A and B are shown apart, each in its own frame.
Chain A
Amino acid sequence: MSATIVSLPDQSTARIPKMNYLSKENGLLSWLLTGDHKRIAILYLISLSFFFFIGGALAGLIRLELLTPQADLMATDTYNKVFTMHGVIMIFFFLVPSVPATLGNFLIPLMIGAKDLALPKVNLLSWYLYIAGGTLAIYTMATGGVDTGWTFTTPLSTHYVNTNVLTTGLAVFIAGFSSIFTGLNFIVTIHKMRCPGMTWFRLPLFVWAHYAASILMVLATPVVAIAIVLVALERTLGIGVFDPTKGGDPLLFQHLFWFYSHPAVYIMILPGMGVISETISTFSRKRVFGYTAVAFSSVAIAVFGFFVWAHHMFIMGISNYAVLVFSLLTMLVAVPSAIKIFNWTFTLYKGSITFETPMLYTFGFMGLFTIGGLTGVFLGTSGTDIHLTETYFIVAHFHFVMVGGMLMAFLAGIHFWWPKMTGRMYPEKISQLAAVITFIGFNFTFFPQFILGTLGMPRRYASYPPEFQVLNVFSTAGATILGVGYLLPVLYLTWSLKYGAIAGNNPWQATGLEWQIQSPPLTENFTVTPIMDHEAYDYEWLENQNLAKEKSKEVTHAG
């Protein structure tokens, strides 16, 4: 497998450009008060990794507890707190901001030829909100945690638990506004900051995906915010909007919660899909098949995403007619996701495929997301859902899409743009190994959970019947492998900051605008405002550029 597209500059003479966004200013304050979207992206990357580590440690505790059928490692109510904090931290403090806040922040202005996001101060504000919310979540954990599940289900959360629902709720509320501001900023930027010639249909699909995700962030997040406010008011002042003893309907809370949280799953996957469109094109040297279809399917996912939320409530007591309608609509939302998978597969067809690390993660994404999405259709079918809901089948479904999908895409993206962000390459061999380990570990961890679910093992319990033990041991063993797979990148990426090969402008020979400037970029991104004069993913254009450059070199050498 010697085929590779990596083209690095001559390492003996190459240097990281002296002027770049990292070297521009020094000192902690220059980071904490920065308006530069690239620096804010780095701030996010560091803080997100921290929360991912905490969430991951909690996951480790869950899997350890489930190694044996009895609840022996911790008390059952401690277990409740552990899985709740795992869910809250992973969803609101890792997955929702993961790709948009890091890669999206870093790349959207570069990809559309802008100097920055439209609202740099708001961008910084949303990082501070994220940190404030995150601190509150950590505080909650330190002072006893919360045990309602990440869904804050009423009346459990309003009446029956004595844990820190208020601080957790506030943490999620604040993180929600961080997400709203990020989405708002992206939409404004994509509309108003494109460089001359950058028409909508020349935008990289990464930008389209973020545009669609941003619509969801802006329109859906406020609804969960108000739902949380009402829960808080009910706990503190005793108002009765969700309180059945006063005639309130706990299901109304679920309507409001899932009105956000279903679109939220697309907030969690769409940016990842954007990453996949970029990597798959670059590593098969082909324009993404059906560019327009992929672009519009992002928007379609965002729009349809608003009409299916009650598929999370099939057994909760909504009307039979609503079950029917929401079940049908859920089938609809799978269509645009499938369009994407098919188009990516066609992109591979007759492409010159190479297997650098980002591409390995991309393949992982395609397989695992397909399984996750298809099992989503099982769950959207109300009949099968009645059997599978609240079992480990659900847990497997959403981990396939969120961990197998989004986390793979996140890692694909981090590796793919690492040279752009830092100016240095990560070490290829060991990172390919990490990608393979992640894939194997993932399947060992989560595939058994599909089987456990169909056998009827319920989610959210610390103990289970002994006959389920074998599969649970598999799952815990897999989680250990997965842990190694995630630890490796932390180590070698840190190593590469100092020792990695100098990447040069465009190590992948990719076509995006971000690859045509120096790595790491200048603070102002472009020295002159670029003009876009070709389609996205135009490899012929790139070749002509390279030829022209070589010619001019020859001329200077001759002269």
Chain B
Amino acid sequence: MPDSPVIVHGASEADHHEHPAYLRHHFESVEQQADAAGFAMWLFLVTEVMFFGGMFTAYLIYRNWYYPAFVAASHQLDVRWGTLNTLVLIISSFTMAMGVWCAETRRKKGLVLCLMLTMILGLGFLGIKSIEYSEKIEKHHVPGFHYSLQSFTDPQSDSAVYAEYHDKPLPLDMARHTEIYFSLYFALTGMHALHMIIGIAILGFMIFRAQAGAYTSGHVTFVENFGLYWHFVDVIWIYLFALLYLISRHQ
């Protein structure tokens, strides 16, 4: 005892909780620890909402201002790739949810399988995204010094897209604003892809640990919280798909 007694009454020392090794010393109980970690994860996701929120705001404003440019520019995206990627990501969300369930019900093999599937689907998403990106690079649609307006001032030169949409040429002034569309397209999808890459790296780590049985002995907080992150990335994509690919297909 220190030489200064605590005046406030102490809680009863009797302890009804189990004290597994993963219970950190400053928590009273396993529930408190799991609760705190889960809540922290939700707060982190809220900061992510605001982080992407700034870019969504920019997108909405400029789409309002430069509507024709945004319509024409969005026709450069291929709905088929977008749809495929949406499906890939939704399924990966499902496998992740199943992974969490496996961890909660202590199924080690199932957990490892689910995490692996999630990882493969995540990599698939990035692969498809890179196909899309390389198309943009070829057409000089990456904003910056080599940006080309040709597809917008002279749509017929871009035969594949023209065949589908029959866009009229934009006046030079409006065509220039397509660069803003692509700036936001790359900022949004790039930031999203960065989150995917981080997620995949963590998945790799988790698969490794899951094989050692780390998450199937009752301590599932890490898997659950990672699941929240992965689903969040999915939610962002659901909106990106709608905003970037779908809403401007008709004039």
Same complex for A and B? Answer: yes
Which A residues are within 8 Å of any B CB, using their own CB? 15, 17, 19, 113-116, 118-120, 122, 180, 184-185, 187-189, 191-193, 195-196, 218-223, 225-227, 229-230, 233, 237-241, 246-249, 252, 255-256, 259, 504-505, 513, 516-518, 522, 524, 526-533, 545, 549
- Verify B10–A256 contact, CB threshold 8 A: no
Asked whether A218 lies within 8 Å of B184 as measured between CB atoms, the reply is no
- Decide yes or no whether B17 CB sits under 8 A from chain A: no
Q: Is the CB of B177 within 8 A of A518?
A: no
Q: A223-B51, A226-B55 are in contact. Are A246 and B144 (CB under 8 A)?
A: no
Which of B33-41, B79-87, B121-129, B157-165 forms part of the interface with chain A?
Answer: B33-41
* Most chain A CB within a 10 A radius of its CB, from B13, B144, B184, B186: B144
A211 to chain B, nearest CB (A): 12
Given contacts A17-B3, A184-B44, A255-B57, 20 further A-B contacts (CB under 8 A): A17-B4, A115-B26, A119-B37, A120-B26, A188-B39, A219-B46, A219-B47, A219-B50, A222-B53, A223-B50, A225-B51, A226-B55, A238-B145, A239-B144, A246-B177, A249-B62, A517-B4, A524-B26, A530-B11, A533-B9
Residues of B158-212 at the interface with A, using a CB-CB cut-off of 8 Å, are 176-177, 179-180, 182-184, 186-187, 191
A-B contact pairs, 7 of them (CB 8 A): A120-B24, A237-B144, A239-B183, A240-B179, A516-B8, A528-B11, A530-B11
Contact between A233 and B39, CB atoms less than 8 A apart: no
Inter-chain contacts of B25 with A (CB < 8 A): 115, 524
Residue of A nearest to B43 (CB): A184
Number of interface residues of B (CB under 8 A): 51
A-B pairs under 8 A by CB, number: 162
Q: Which B residue's beta carbon lies closest to that of A36?
A: B26
Q: Which of B4, B8, B11, B47 has a CB less than 8 Å from the CB of A218? A: B47
- The proximity string for B residues 1-32 relative to A, scoring 1 for CB distances below 8 Å and 0 otherwise, is 11110111111010000000000111010001
Expressed in whole angstroms, the Cα–Cα distance for A284 and B212 within the complex equals: 60
Residues on B close to A: CB < 8 A? 1-4, 6-11, 13, 24-26, 28, 32, 35-37, 39-40, 43-44, 46-48, 50-55, 57-58, 61-62, 65-66, 143-145, 176-177, 179-180, 182-184, 186-187, 191
| Structural contact, A192 and B39, CB atoms closer than 8 A | yes
Task: Give the residues in chain A near B11, CB-CB below 8 Å.
Answer: 195-196, 528-531
Report chain A residues within 8 Å CB of B26: 114-116, 118, 120, 193, 524
Collect the chain B residues with CB atoms within 8 Å of residue A237's CB.
Answer: 143-144
Known contacts A239-B183, A530-B10: does B40 contact A252 (CB below 8 Å)?
Answer: no
**Which residues of A are found within 8 Å of B7, using beta-carbon distances?**
516, 545, 549
Determine if B143 and A240 form an interchain contact, defined as CB atoms under 8 angstroms apart: yes
Known pairs A239-B186, A528-B6; A184 contacts B47 (CB<8 A): yes
Residues of B within 8 A of A246 (CB): 176-177, 179-180
Residues in chain A near residue B28, CB distance under 8 A: 529
> Contact between B35 and A187 (Cβ–Cβ < 8 Å)?
no
Name the residue of chain B whose CB is nearest to the CB of A35. Answer: B26
Closest 3 CB pairs of A and B: A528-B10, A226-B54, A239-B183
**Quick one: which of A221, A230, A527 contacts B2, CB cutoff 8 A?**
A527
Interface pair B10/A238, CB less than 8 Å apart: no
Nearest B-chain residue to A247, judged by Cβ: B177
**B32/A248 in contact, CB under 8 A:** no
Q: How far is the CB of A557 from chain B (nearest CB, A)?
A: 17
Q: Are B43 and A249 in contact (CB under 8 A)?
A: no
In whole angstroms, what is the CA distance A70 to B144 when docked? 42
